[in-house]
Structure 1
Amino acid sequence: MKNKVDLFDRRDCLRKILLGYKEPQSTTVLHERLCAELELENHIPKSTQRDLEALERIGDVRQVKLDSDLRANFWEWAGPGLDLTLLPTEAMTVSAIIDHAARFGLQAPPEMLGKLRKYVDGVMRKGPHRKLEWAKRITTGTRFTVLQPGRSNPDHVARIQDALRYNEPLKVTYLPRDAGGVECVYHLKPLALSYQDSNIYLSAYVLIEEWPEGCAPEPGAKRGKYSSNGPNTQCALMLHRVVAIGESGWEIPEPGNFDVNSPEAQKHLMTIHDNELVELHLRLGVNLHNRLSENPLTADQFMEQTSDGKWELRCTLLDTQGLRLFLLSNADEIEVIEPPVIRAHVREALRRAVSLYADD
């Protein structure tokens, strides 16, 4: 056990302790946690009280009174949730990460990133050699057209994040796609958040559905994508289709060993045509051969040049919506040799596309 710890270390520890609590905590609880984590002995509660008051003066914590115990002092976190020291080069990387996330749909509330962005910009401006407008010097992007993000409610995102953290069920009012504008209430357990294709998706286990009278889908009916698959099933929901979130009185179990990266979870987030890996065999044009030489399609990719000077590629991967979109977006540079099911899909998609221009 330690007899004394620097006050800065004590206060930093108190910050981290309070960040871990959802509800206000008493000075007694915080004092006990502080002594346990820093292995302090003979450290008096009055010193912890003074540390908390010092943190309150700089706006990191807030003192509150609870009706359940008017005699005790309770404290809650009031600061930005950040405790960073970055080098200028590290700040440049963080700046790019923030921009890249926003560009592809991870729209955090302004107050959440405001202080981080201000800090990062401040560090980059402190360079002793050059004063630059860094927004003109660092960027991220893609050659593909990026759709505008879905308009999800930041308060809904924060509520779901809290529910994930504290293992809470939720009552979610939702606007299912292909349901004629009818709202449904799901009692669900949040499992994961996924940021993809300019939208935010919630993976969830739905226990109960509440539909308006006469609007519930028939048993076994095909559901719209990104809605519930029915009671007692997993699904993926679009955050911008969430109308309201409240507390659920149901006790909802969580599927054991859930992993959002597993095929079982991913099949709700995107189309997976086969759970088994396929052997992909492609014939490539010159431009795509050059690109895939530098940015391989998979880690096990193998390319060889044939006797006629063409390039062929072989690799192993899942047959997904993303793979098929990649093949179609580069259709003038790719011939799919195998597997037959993907070759047939690309052929039929191209025939439909050509038919749209048949009169030109």
Structure 2
Amino acid sequence: MINYHRRRTALRKILQRSGTSMKTADIHTALCKWFDDFSLHGKTTLRDLEALTETELVAVGEKGPDKKAKYWKSGRESFDLTLSPTEAMTLAAIFEHAQRFGFNAHTEQLGELREYAASEMTKHSARPLAWSQRITSGTRFTLLQPGKHDPAHLATIQAAILEDVSLEVTYLPRDAGGVECRYLLKPLALSYQDSNVYLSAYVEQEHWPAGYVPADQRGKYSSNGPRTLCALMLHRMLAVKTSWLDVPGPPHYDVNSLDAQKHLMTIHGEAPVPLKLRLSANLHNRLSENPLTDDQVIVPQGDQHWDLSCSLYDTQGLRLFLLSNAADIEVLAPATLRSHVHQTLLRAVTLYASNETAPKDTP
């Protein structure tokens, strides 16, 4: 016979995983499936739920479509874990970092867990502290505001990934003149980068408006055509719904693979490149403490310069790093990357050398 401790633990987990109010009958059915025992009595489940409400582990839920039924939801103290004060501080830092980099809606979903971490720090602190003033997260780069997306779209995508189902997505591709396209796709993975959310997906079908012919080169963050991988911006999705059609998707998919990553971020070439940089004292200090790669080697060249060698992919991120530190880094190899930095800097100098648009100095 299943003792009441196991039953009540299962009831709490059922409500936690549901995330919404459930009526007694549905909870009882889920409990029977949990233990694969349909001899459990519904009145026992009701008594267990009522007992759990007394300890605030379960709460009375919002009314649903069945007006005669009682509804229940997970309580405020329903975390099956215990955090030490230092673990709570680490978790608080993770929440702060996530919220700063575009995870506002996600941290709100886990508000109770965040409050629990804050309460553990407060209880064990030697003096009262406002933890929002004691833990922070940041970057030296300017953060852009995240693109606005519909939270319901993200929830639908997350559920589809968990349930291994296909989606129909109405999308506004870049560089398509405002034309909408409808995709039948398999959602594969979510990527959170640059304050935005991206969906890595396998497109089975795409439907454009009559008479519209997409360009051969689609550009980044749109479909690359039927039966291909792509990356789609969540804030460009106009509608998302599940589809009864089955899209198998690519076998052995891995979001960290080169095939998937080259759609999520710009990668030039199919393999890592041998990178060689000449550093000033400023960047020598920085890259000695925060290496570009685990295998980098730095060799002194005179009193004020150092040569750095390593191997890594030529990505958009690498190019932005080199350009943002162009006064302290000279790219020695590969030649293609050196040429890119050189040409980009020439265009920048041309812009700033023009006297036609430069503001006049005020005496």
Asked whether the two chains share a fold, i.e. TM above 0.5, the reply is: yes
SS at match of 2:232: strand
Does residue 170 (structure 1) correspond to residue 167 (structure 2)? The answer is yes
Judge conservation of contact 1:26–1:75 (CA < 8 Å) in 2. Answer: no
Task: Work out the CA distance in 2 between the residues paired with 1:153 and 1:312.
Answer: 48
Q: CA offsets, 1:293-312, max 9 Å, x none?
A: 11111000111112455211
Please state if 1:156 is matched with 2:157. Answer: no
Match of 2:316 among 316, 321, 329: 321
Residues in 2 aligned to 1:295 and 1:109: alpha-carbon distance in whole angstroms: 29
Of the three residues 221, 226, 234, the one matched with 1:231 is: 226
Q: Residue 193 of structure 1: SS of its match in structure 2?
A: strand
Counterparts in 2 of 1:295 and 1:126: CA distance versus 1, 3 Å:
same
Q: What does the per-residue CA deviation read over 1:224-261, in whole Å, with 9 as the maximum and x for residues that have no partner? A: 32111111111100001111112223211121111111
Task: Report deviation, 1:109.
Answer: 4.9
Cα distance change on mapping 1:210 and 1:55 into 2, 3 Å:
farther
Structure 1 unaligned segments of length 5 or more: list them.
37-41, 68-72
Aligned to 1:39: none
**1:312 and 2:307 equivalent?**
yes
Letter in 2 for 1:182: V
8 A Cα contact 2:280 2:304, kept in partner: no
Alignment of 1:164-243 (within 5 A): 164-217=161-214, 221-243=216-238
Q: Could you tell me whether the CA contact under 8 Å between 1:281 and 1:337 is conserved in 2?
A: yes
Aligned residue for 2:345? 350
Runs of 4+ more than 6 Å apart: 21-24, 42-45, 63-67, 73-76
Secondary structure at 1:206's aligned position in 2? strand
Tell me how far apart the structure 2 counterparts of residues 157 and 65 of structure 1 sit (CA, whole Å): 24
RMSD: 3.0
1:114 to 111, 116, 123: 111
1:262 is aligned to 2:263: no
Match of 2:291 in 1: 296
Higher deviation after alignment, 171-180 or 27-36: 27-36
Counterparts in 2 of 1:204 and 1:56: CA distance versus 1, 3 Å: farther
Among the aligned pairs, what percent are the same residue?
55
After the TM superposition, which of the residue ranges 184-193 and 209-218 deviates more from structure 2?
Answer: 209-218
Unaligned runs of 5+ in 2: 356-363
Aligned-pair distance for 1:106?
A: 2.0
Aligned pairs, number: 347
The partner residue of 1:137 within 134, 137, 146 is: 134
Alignment CA distance shift 1:74-1:204 (3 Å): farther
Once the 2 structures are TM-superposed, how far is the Cα of residue 215 of structure 1 from its aligned partner?
2.1
Residues 1:247 and 1:154: Cα distance change in structure 2 (over 3 Å): same
Q: Which moved more, 1:140-149 or 1:221-230?
A: 221-230
